[in-house]
A = this chain, B = another copy of it.
Amino acid sequence: MEIRRVAGLDRAEAGDLTFVANAKYYGALATTRASAVLLGERTPAGVTPPATCAVLRCRDPYSTFATALGFFVHAAPPARGVDPLSAVGPGVTFGDDVSIGPFVSIGAGAAIGERTIVYPNAVIGPGARIGADCILHAHVSVRERVVVGDRVILHDGAVLGSDGFGFARQPDGTHMKIPQLADVVIENDVEIGANTTIDRPAVGETRIKAGAKIDNLVQIGHGVSIGERTLLAAQVGLSGSTVVEEDVVMAGQVGVAGHIRVGKGVIAAGKTGITKSAAPGEFLTGYPGIPNREWRKAVVIFRHLPELKKQIEELEAKVAELEEKLIECRTSTDRS
């Protein structure tokens, strides 16, 4: 059998390898046209594809699928070596087997680790240090003296080390700029999305810890620390000096106040506003973010507020009526 492509279950055709990791798709398996399917070791015996589809059993079909994807499709990095159309400052050091594309600018004294790939038009500032096996996509800005670990992926237009938003209000109402020239450190195995911005602080450091994954258009304020393996979805924004511990998950458009601590394993649903420090393991939702269970119970009532208001008004009318009747009643009792 020849496998020519890897495809999702709904689109798989003859010649495709597909996978089922989630029980809710077992039903769709019966009619797949894929030539092979990855199934978990514990997939129930009754769940089988048509006879035309081979079954490959594995511990984790989703991860195995990811591995298979890597066999079939490939990115297209610039050629090995330093493109003659790049601008490389004095004292720049390159590890072995780097690929540096055209119109890349690398400032004086920067260091690029071995096998690191830099796509066209990226800019690496003076004194920046990029580790080994990194991928910097087009239009990335790594500002001066930023430190990037190994196996880091930076997507198109990501900015590392732009000035934090720090000003001192003067007596005449104008804003004096606080120079933002301290450290930005991106640890190993971090991925940073397209057009995401990571600010540099005045003092101390902004740090993204090992294995954290950050999606597109995310704002990381100056002096923020992001914990190991934390996941930040697109358009999340973190204000300055906030500490996010490890294994946190924030869904899209979450906003986090400055100078707070978000504990290990916290989960925040989309659009949550985290306004104060959160204990480890909390699942927050809403603005301000409150425990998800509480929020769910409250929010279903929100849309019924008009009825609640009406109920209260009716109660008020009834109680007034009762009061009156009771007076009548007591009067008649007194009379009797």
Interface residues of A (CB under 8 A from B): 6-8, 10-11, 60, 62-63, 65-66, 69-70, 73-76, 83, 85, 87, 101-103, 105, 107-108, 119-121, 123, 125-127, 137-139, 141, 143-145, 153, 155-157, 159, 162-163, 165, 167-168, 170, 173-179, 181-182, 189, 191, 193-195, 197, 199, 202-204, 211, 213, 215-217, 219, 221, 229, 231, 233-235, 237, 239, 247, 251-253, 255, 257, 270-271, 273, 275, 286-288, 290, 294-295, 297-299, 301-306, 308-309, 311-312, 315-316, 318-319, 322-323, 325-326, 328-330, 332-334, 336
How many copies make up the complex? Answer: 3
**Across chains A and B, which 5 residue pairs bring their CB atoms closest together, nearest first?**
A105-B120, A87-B102, A73-B181, A162-B194, A141-B156
Pair B73/A179 contact, Cβ less than 8 Å: yes
Q: How far is the CB of A67 from chain B (nearest CB, A)?
A: 8
Pair A211/B323 contact, Cβ less than 8 Å: no
Pair A234/B165 contact, Cβ less than 8 Å: yes
Interface residue SS majority, chain A: loop
Q: Given A239-B233, A326-B322 in contact, is the A107-B76 Cβ separation under 8 Å? A: yes
Give A297 to B176 CA distance when docked, in angstroms.
35
Q: How far is the CB of A51 from chain B (nearest CB, A)?
A: 24
Give A315 to B304 CA distance when docked, in angstroms.
17
Pair B155/A159 contact, Cβ less than 8 Å: yes
Q: Given A257-B270, A316-B315 in contact, is the A193-B165 Cβ separation under 8 Å? A: yes
Specify the chain B residue showing the minimal Cβ separation from A108. Answer: B76
Q: How far is the CB of A102 from chain B (nearest CB, A)?
A: 4
Specify the chain B residue showing the minimal Cβ separation from A59. Answer: B171
Q: Given A234-B237, A290-B303, A333-B336 in contact, is the A73-B217 Cβ separation under 8 Å? A: no
Specify the chain B residue showing the minimal Cβ separation from A62. Answer: B168
Give A253 to B237 CA distance when docked, in angstroms.
8
- In the assembled complex, which residues on chain B have CB atoms less than 8 Å from the CB atom of A60? 168
Interchain CB contact (< 8 A) of A76 among B6, B144, B328, B334: B144
Q: How far is the CB of A213 from chain B (nearest CB, A)?
A: 6
Pair B8/A204 contact, Cβ less than 8 Å: yes
Specify the chain B residue showing the minimal Cβ separation from A223. Answer: B8
Give A213 to B126 CA distance when docked, in angstroms.
26
Q: Given A102-B87, A138-B105, A303-B294 in contact, is the A319-B315 Cβ separation under 8 Å? A: yes
Q: How far is the CB of A264 from chain B (nearest CB, A)?
A: 11
Q: How far is the CB of A263 from chain B (nearest CB, A)?
A: 16
Specify the chain B residue showing the minimal Cβ separation from A60. Answer: B168
Instruction: Pull 25 A–B residue pairs with CB atoms less than 8 Å apart, ordered by A.
Output: A8-B203, A66-B168, A66-B202, A70-B179, A83-B87, A87-B101, A87-B103, A87-B120, A103-B105, A105-B120, A123-B139, A125-B138, A162-B194, A165-B213, A167-B213, A195-B195, A217-B217, A234-B239, A239-B251, A239-B270, A255-B270, A295-B303, A312-B312, A318-B319, A319-B319
- In the assembled complex, which residues on chain B have CB atoms less than 8 Å from the CB atom of A217? 195, 197, 217, 219, 237
Give A163 to B156 CA distance when docked, in angstroms.
10
- In the assembled complex, which residues on chain B have CB atoms less than 8 Å from the CB atom of A7? 203-204
